[in-house]
Amino acid sequence: MTKKIIGGNEAVALGALHAGVKVITGYPGTPSSEVIGSLWGKDLPGTKVEWSTNEKVAFEVAAAAAWAGFRSLCTMKMSGLNVAYDSLISITYSGCKGGLVVYVCDDPGVSAGMPEQDVRGFALMSDMPMLEPGSVQESYDLIQFAFELSEAIQSPVFVRSVTNVALSHGVANVEERILPPDKKPLLEKDIMKYTKAGAAICMTQHRDLIARLEKAGDIIGEKGLNRLHLKGEKGGLGIISVGVVNTFLAEGFDIADRFGINPEEISTLEAVTTIPFPKKEVGALLDHCGAILVLEELEPHLEKGVYLEAYKRGAKVRIIGKEDGTLSRIGDYDATHVVKGIFSALDKPVPEELYKTIEAEKHCAARPITTCAGCPHRGTYMAINQAVKNLGYKKEEVMVTGDIGCTILGINPPFHTIWTEVAMGASIPMAQGYVYSGVETPVIATIGDSTFFHGGIPGLLNAVQHQINLTAIVMDNGWTAMTGMQVNPGTAPDFQQSGCKPLDLAQVIPGLGVENFFIADPYDLEGTTETIQKALTLPGVKVILSRRECAIQANRRKVKYGTVQVDQEQCNLCKRCINITGCPAISLGEESIVIDSGQCNGCALCAQVCNRSAIKREGK
């Protein structure tokens, strides 16, 4: 065993390797991406690691390997579980042979975008066990136990992490990788188990699933994973916490101690599961305590279980948490939430000193989130805006739907181009909905290449089938960029895993029945603008593939498209280049604008909007 400083997601990856995992699949999504990211490119004989097209595909691949008798891990963020759930619930009804673990990360506080979704609700709907690590070490340990539990009950198991665990770092005890067993895959033909062909089959499987969850609760109880500590005299305060909140208890107790509260008089239940509900441990706490504080981020799933258990036992215990308004269902937790809860439970005023924090953000200059220097999406946004203007429309007259990823930065200044962002692949169907609603001005949908592969193709197929008058712009930078530069089906061959065949969107899109198909270079502002203008005047479905490699990835390989120079005599500091491009490589000097050669990759979009020829590109 070796002590290492690792991240929470890396701990999951290393734990899975020590558990002898055979297949690891997933789709990149912060805060879960580093599980596969930490393994990418490593030599792992016997274990297959892949970035899948989307989460549903990823889970189906992993599930089949588990049906064949091998341990499999599928990773995703909370929003990805929405995509995978159609298959997940049916496969869970069937159960599994080899251990099947679904690692999913929630994002309380919304540090990575999308909703504050609490995936424990999915575990409740699915009658699936869900383990909730609260630290890097627990992430390593519980992922291994999840495989054991899955095989013991022959059913998939969730491991739910949150941003403050998944992206944290800490010292953990880790062990060497264990190779997957060298055995033949199990091929089991069992219609009653592996199909949903009839009500009797489905209800039998559902009955078995419920029994498997109950068995999981027994195993977790025997392991003592939910840590119960009864303290003080009977009738005192008890705290129930789960997952990451467990790690805040010690700090919260230290703070409370400074304000005269004795932690040694407070009983605790530090749970690692909400589903199955730790009924026995909660019952013991209800028998011992007169008041119970429930600490959990987001939804009060655990708290509601405590209320129900108290009602069933006839326990006259005061319960403090979200349901009584003490704590919020919004945002992530820290030690101050522990202290606030303790003081509220003890009917004491919360010390004002607790809320005296340094508000450093108030002293920071406002800085809008924009695309990187040299980002090809910049040229696409600029071209959309110019094409709309050239056709005589105002910005507020032309709907431009957006999608997930770097492309959504078009909502921000200086572009103000994108109107909507909903979910992976939603841009084209939503554009169709606006057309159906009777919008007479052009409707544009924008979507990135990885998002198009993930969920955009069905929407485009639907638009083609129904011959909708819309223009879709697929912004192809060759990478799944916003989540950390993972490969997708269209990434260049040099970066794919051995044996993988990349797909060219220039061939895929026409193959979907698109007749009006165009390819544009977003670094060519005039050409891209003309292409968009033309598309907006044609009937039916038009698709423009606006393609240039992600600037960050190109810069890593020292790719430069020329050198941009400023003619100080011609520059009059009109700031047109800054106001239109918003490029972070451009700043104001005393006599002219200044271009940071370290950031600039020579895209020359700034030169193309300068009306005094004060910016010039030399070279390519």
Can you tell me the mean pLDDT for 563-584?
93
- The tens digit of pLDDT for each residue in 237-260 reads 999 999 999 999 999 999 999 999
Find where tokens 């064949």 sit: 68
Check pLDDT > 90 for residue 112: no
The whole-number pLDDT of residue 96 equals 96
- 130, β-bridge pairs: 158, 275
The answer to whether 562 and 547 have CB atoms below 8 angstroms apart is no
Residue 562 has pLDDT above 50, yes or no: yes
CA–CA gap between residue 180 and residue 177 (Å, rounded)? 9
The Cα-based distances of 318 to 310, 323, 345 in angstroms read: 10, 12, 8
pLDDT at 357: 45
DSSP 8-class letter at 455? I
- The pLDDT assigned to 172 comes to 96
Would the annotation count 372 as a binding residue?
Answer: no
Confirm or deny that 375 is annotated as ligand binding: no
**Is the confidence at residue 366, as pLDDT, over 80?**
no
Mean pLDDT for the stretch of residues 133-144: 98
**202 known ligand binder:** no
pLDDT score for 498: 86
Q: Beta strands 130-131 and 516-520: pairing type? A: unpaired
CB 269 within 8 A of CB 238: yes
Instruction: Give residue 363's pLDDT band: very low, low, confident or very high (50, 70, 90).
Output: low
Q: For residue 174, what are the β-bridge partners?
A: 2
CA distances from 527 to 178, 384, 533, 576, 608 (A): 55, 12, 10, 20, 11
pLDDT classification of 618: cutoffs 50, 70, 90? confident
Question: Given this model, what pLDDT does residue 620 score?
Answer: 57
Give me the pLDDT at residue 364, please.
Answer: 56
Distance from C-alpha of 149 to C-alpha of 103, rounded to nearest angstrom: 14
DSSP 135-164: SHHHHHHHHHHHHHHHHHHTS-EEEEEEHH
pLDDT digits (tens, 9 = 90+) for 397-407: 999 999 988 99
**pLDDT number for residue 354:** 74
Q: Look at residue 131 and give its three-state secondary structure.
A: strand
Tell me the average pLDDT of the chain.
94
Q: What is the pLDDT of residue 355?
A: 66
What does the block give as tokens for 357? 């924090």
| Cβ neighbours of 279 (radius 10 Å) | 14
- Predicted pLDDT at 359: 44
Question: 367 pLDDT band (50/70/90 cuts)?
Answer: low
The beta strands (E) that lie in 201-309 are given as 227-229, 236-242, 267-271, 273-275, 289-295
Rounded Cα–Cα distance for residues 499 and 515 (Å): 32
Matching residue, tokens 């609700």: 121
Q: Return the structure tokens found at 401.
A: 């739907």
Q: What percent of the chain has pLDDT over 90?
A: 88
Structural domains of the chain in order of their starting residue, each with its CATH number: 2-223 (3.40.50.970), 227-355 (3.40.50.920), 376-556 (3.40.50.970), 563-618 (3.30.70.20)
* Torsion angle, alpha carbons of 515, 489, 463, 525, to 10: -60
pLDDT in tens, 439-468: 999 999 999 999 999 999 999 999 999 999
pLDDT one-digit tens code per residue, 589-606: 988 999 999 999 999 999
The CA angle 65-68-74, to the nearest 5 degrees, is: 20
The mean per-residue pLDDT over the stretch 190-197 comes to 91
Cβ 319 vs Cβ 303: under 8 Å: yes
The verdict on whether residue 577 carries a ligand-binding annotation is yes
Of 427, 472, 435, the C-alpha closest to 454 is 427
Place of tokens 């009653």: 192
Q: Of 103-117, 141-155, 346-360, where does the model show the most confidence?
A: 141-155
CA angle 359, 106, 58 (to 5 degrees): 145
Average pLDDT of 607-615?
A: 94
- According to DSSP H, which parts of 314-391 are helical? 335-345, 376-390
Scanning 237-357, the segments in alpha helix (DSSP H) are 249-258, 279-288, 301-313, 335-345
Confidence class for position 361, pLDDT limits 50, 70, 90: very low
8-state DSSP, 355: G
- DSSP E strands in 52-195: the ranges are 72-77, 100-106, 130-131, 157-162, 169-174
Tell me how crowded residue 242 is: count the other CB atoms within 10 A of its CB: 24
Strand order in the sheet with 399-401: 399-401, 443-448, 470-476, 541-547, 516-520
Pairing of strands 130-131, 273-275: antiparallel
Q: State how far Cα 423 lies from the chain centre.
A: 11
